[in-house]
């Protein structure tokens, strides 16, 4: 069920009432009730997905306990590797099997061999990338003695399937979620109202902003060869708005729901489009995924490579630069693949990896250049130009992210760069333009908070505060677009 559906409203209202009334004084019952609700929520999509989730969860629960019990390094390592293989194999089969089979067939065909193509119809379980990553982080943290394997199976299963975050994150790691599950939770009015406020802003982002962009984005990208460059540029701008409002909107709803249930879920977006450089952008966009790849992929790779290179330079490149380049490239290829089995996502990852490397290599020369021209780093013109350049990089990368294939993406970009860019684009409804401007205006005003309206209206007089809240609610009912699935459900 979608967060934005009436079914979910009825579901969560029932959960909230029972959770804080019938089970309020019993932590064990609260956890079991949440586990049941999580399985109902997840199984609502397809009960077969629920069977897979349950099997994966039980396997990780048992393997972690066995790792915890072993004192000898070799059996612990063997169990750990076994757990990783199980999780990665499941993810590979459901998400990447056909992609790599097709790649192998195309490679052999180009070499002159004929291989029959076998691509079974595999249904991608919703949210599989998210709960597999949660499972992997649990095994890693138990193996590295950062977290004790939980013996209570209900607490373990809830950790892997907590319904606010299971479908599209944030990727709430067990090391932070599990202690909240194990400790008694009591209703807190302040946290609950904050959760309602954040969820309301998330619903506005998704239903009013993102969903209204969808028809234009889908049409322009599906028929890009029939449109001129100016319209294609509008399509990129609208998709840039859509994907942020959609994914950040989901995260705000999930975090708000968590607060209503007494949980603190990590912030996943911190106003990324206001970033000054690509590194800052990735500190603010999909924070849970970025920090996951940093901690479990980039840093281990960097540590491993640094142990293999003993000299200060390798192939005329400074060792520290080389370590960073290798780590970033591998990390961002995997980040791209995580998003989907398509070369477009690999290109998207490589674009961000390339500009992260360029930013790293130019940091010191940039400082010297500013010093030479006696220019402050806080120069407003410099901030504006760097922010604009960063946003342009992001928008180009979104073309690959949204395109059906790499050729489609390059043709799209070439048409934007043609003289047709200066033609008149298709008309976009004025109300949508106004709503988008108002949306980013509020985001800008609240950019230093956890979410845009976290404290923006809290200190206003009560009457103005409630006028604002009811305005958001009415806009959701009046301006909401056709109900759309969240973009990140496909990942």
Per-residue pLDDT, 94: 87
Please state whether 169 falls in left (phi above 0), alpha (psi between -120 and 50) or beta. left
Dihedral of alpha carbons 434, 436, 438, 440, sign:
negative
Going by C-beta distance under 8 Å and a sequence separation of 6 or more, which residues neighbour residue 441? none
Query: For residue 392, what are its two tokens?
Result: 């342009």
Catalytic residues: 339
- Give residue 110's pLDDT: 62
- Alpha-carbon distance 339 to 247, whole Å? 13
Neighbour tally for 348: CB within 10 Å: 25
pLDDT at 174: 95
pLDDT at 106: 63
Please enumerate in sequence order all residues whose Cβ is within 8 A of that of 149, keeping only pairs 6 or more positions apart, or say none. 64, 65, 67, 68, 142
Q: What pLDDT shows up at residue 311?
A: 76
**What is residue 351's DSSP assignment?**
H
**What's this model's pTM, rounded to 2 decimal places?**
0.93
Contact 398, 347 (CB under 8 A): no
Give the pLDDT of residue 237. 97
Q: Find tokens 């205006």 and name the residue.
A: 441
For residue 64, count CB atoms less than 10 angstroms from its CB and return exposed for 0-12, middle for 13-18, buried for 19 or more: buried
Q: What is the DSSP string of 172-201?
A: --HHHHHHHHHS-----HHHHHHHHHHHHH
Q: For residue 350, give the H/E element and its range.
A: helix 343-372
Query: d(Cα 479, Cα 375) in Å, to the nearest integer?
Result: 46
Residue whose pair of structure tokens reads 């859509």 in the numeric block: 242
Helix (H, G, I), strand (E, B) or coil at 230: helix
Predicted local distance difference test score (pLDDT) of residue 102: 65
| Residue 318: per-residue pLDDT | 84
Which alpha helices (H) appear in 5-127, and where do they start and end? 6-20, 27-43, 47-69, 73-110
CB contact set of 218 (below 8 Å; sequence gap of 6+): none
Rounded-to-integer distance, Cα 432 and Cα 356, Å? 33
Quote the pLDDT of residue 416: 95
**CA–CA gap between residue 75 and residue 70 (Å, rounded):** 7
| Cα-based distances in Å from 154 to 17, 56, 281, 414 | 21, 14, 37, 54
Quick one: pLDDT at residue 389? Answer: 96
Report the chain's mean pLDDT, rounded to a whole number.
91
CA dihedral of residues 240, 172, 304, 315 (deg, nearest 10) = 10
pLDDT at site 76: 93
Residue 309 has a pLDDT of 79
Q: What is the pLDDT of residues 8-34, one digit of tens each?
A: 999 999 999 999 998 888 899 999 999
- d(CA 424, CA 282) in angstroms, rounded, equals 34
Q: What is the b/e burial string over 210-223, where b = at least 16 CB atoms within 10 angstroms of the residue's CB? A: bbbbbebbeebbee
378-391 burial string, b = 16+ CB within 10 Å, else e?
Answer: eeeeeeeebbeebb
Vertex 285, ends 342 and 145: CA angle to 5°? 90
Give pLDDT, residue 306: 85
List Cβ<8 Å contacts ≥24 apart for 30-34: 30/185, 31/154, 31/155, 31/158, 31/181, 32/154, 34/158, 34/162, 34/163, 34/261
Nearest-angstrom CA–CA distance, 439 and 301? 40
Residues of the chain with confidence (pLDDT) below 70: 102-120, 315
Confidence at residue 361, expressed as pLDDT on a 0 to 100 scale: 92
């Amino acid at each position: 069920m979608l967060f934005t559906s009436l079914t979910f409203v009825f579901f969560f209202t029932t959960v909230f009432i029972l959770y804080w009334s019938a089970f309020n004084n019993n932590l064990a019952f609260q956890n079991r009730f949440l586990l049941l609700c999580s399985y109902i929520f997840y199984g609502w999509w397809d009960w077969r997905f629920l069977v897979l989730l349950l099997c994966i969860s039980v396997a990780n629960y048992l393997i972690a306990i066995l790792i915890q019990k072993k004192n000898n390094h070799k059996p612990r390592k063997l169990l750990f590797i076994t757990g990783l293989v199980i999780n990665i194999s499941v993810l590979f089969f459901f998400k990447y099997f056909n992609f790599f089979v097709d790649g192998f067939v195309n490679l052999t065909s180009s070499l002159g061999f004929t291989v029959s193509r076998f691509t079974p119809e595999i249904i991608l379980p919703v949210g599989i990338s998210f709960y597999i990553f949660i499972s992997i982080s649990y095994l890693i943290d138990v193996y590295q003695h950062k977290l004790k394997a939980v013996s209570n199976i209900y607490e373990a299963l809830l950790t892997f399937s907590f319904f606010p975050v299971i479908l599209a994150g944030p990727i709430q790691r067990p090391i932070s979620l599990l202690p909240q599950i194990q400790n008694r939770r009591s209703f807190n009015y302040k946290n609950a109202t904050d959760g309602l406020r954040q969820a309301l802003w998330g619903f506005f982002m998704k239903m009013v902003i993102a969903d209204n962009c969808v028809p234009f984005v889908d049409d322009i990208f599906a028929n890009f060869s029939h449109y001129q460059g100016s319209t294609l540029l509008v399509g990129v701008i609208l998709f840039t708005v859509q994907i942020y409002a959609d994914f950040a909107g989901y995260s705000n709803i999930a975090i708000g729901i968590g607060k209503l249930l007494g949980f603190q879920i990590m912030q996943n977006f911190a106003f990324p489009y206001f970033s000054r450089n690509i590194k800052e952008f990735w500190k603010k966009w999909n924070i849970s995924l970025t920090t996951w790849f940093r901690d479990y992929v980039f840093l281990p790779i960097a540590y491993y490579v640094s142990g293999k290179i003993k000299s200060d330079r390798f192939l005329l490149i400074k060792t520290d630069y080389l370590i960073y380049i290798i780590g970033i490239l591998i990390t961002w290829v995997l980040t791209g693949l995580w998003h989907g089995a398509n070369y477009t996502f690999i290109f998207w990852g490589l674009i961000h990896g390339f500009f992260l490397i360029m930013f790293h290599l130019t940091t010191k020369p940039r400082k010297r250049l500013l010093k030479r021209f006696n220019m402050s780093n806080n120069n407003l013109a410099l901030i504006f130009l760097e922010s604009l350049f960063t946003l342009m990089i992001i928008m180009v990368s979104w073309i690959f992210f949204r395109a059906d294939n790499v050729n489609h993406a390059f043709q799209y970009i070439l048409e934007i760069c043609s003289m047709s860019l200066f033609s008149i684009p298709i008309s976009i409804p004025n109300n949508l333009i106004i709503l988008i401007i108002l949306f980013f205006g509020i985001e800008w005003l609240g950019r230093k908070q956890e979410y845009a309206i976290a404290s923006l209206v809290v200190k206003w007089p009560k009457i103005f505060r409630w006028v604002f809240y009811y305005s958001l609610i009415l806009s959701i009912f009046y301006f909401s677009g056709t109900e759309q699935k969240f973009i990140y459900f496909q990942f």
